Amino acid sequence: MKQSWKPGTLVYPAPAVLVSCSDGRRDNLFTVAWTGTICTNPAMLSISVRPERFSYDIIRSSMQFTLNLTTAAMARATDLCGVRSGRDCDKWQLSGLHRYPGVAVSCPAVEESPLSIECRVKSILPLGSHDMFIAEVVNVLADERYLDPESGRFELRQAGLMSYSHGAYYMQGEQIGTFGFSVKKKK
């Protein structure tokens, strides 16, 4: 038996990411859990941001941002960047995270992130409490620590990625299958 609840945003777990941004005068980073892939070709993703957030105007004026995946080792900094405002403090300094120069955008990436995804905003969709920034991926910065020296494959599973679920943070768990394993022919 299932209970019927009022409508709510209960799609969990969600990635807990740090979004870094700059408008040339100021830069900031903030935590976002409402993000996702929206297209493969061209590579596109979205983030949803409340208009009253400090970084909202920075992204809206620059039309770019970097989405930085987070790890369990970054949990404290990720949480801090979600509960403090860049209006009141320098979150880079307060969190202990470090700027890494952008390559295809003029905003910094987070040096500690295993994967930083540089994006240019294509459109902004007002939705209600949040506006969705629909962005094209223009570059990806991959931490070489996660490159397998033999295969050259990027081993993101070794990073200890973090997710957010209904008020709590979790480290990514063990692998239980691979894409297509349910229909793969047995040898």
- Measured CA distances, 137 to 25, 43, 57, 130 (Å): 23, 5, 20, 21
pLDDT higher than 90, residue 45: yes
Q: What confidence score (pLDDT) does residue 182 get? A: 87
Q: What confidence score (pLDDT) does residue 177 get? A: 87
pLDDT higher than 80, residue 187: no
Q: What confidence score (pLDDT) does residue 49 get? A: 98
Query: Across-strand partners of 162?
Result: 171
- Measured CA distances, 92 to 17, 108, 174, 183 (Å): 15, 11, 31, 46
CATH of 14-171, one of 2.60.40.1930, 3.40.50.150, 2.30.110.10, 3.30.365.10: 2.30.110.10
Q: What confidence score (pLDDT) does residue 185 get? A: 81
Mean pLDDT over each residue of the chain, to the nearest integer: 95
Q: What confidence score (pLDDT) does residue 128 get? A: 96
Q: What is the pLDDT of residues 111-168, one digit of tens each?
A: 999 999 999 999 999 999 999 999 999 999 999 999 999 998 999 989 999 999 989 9
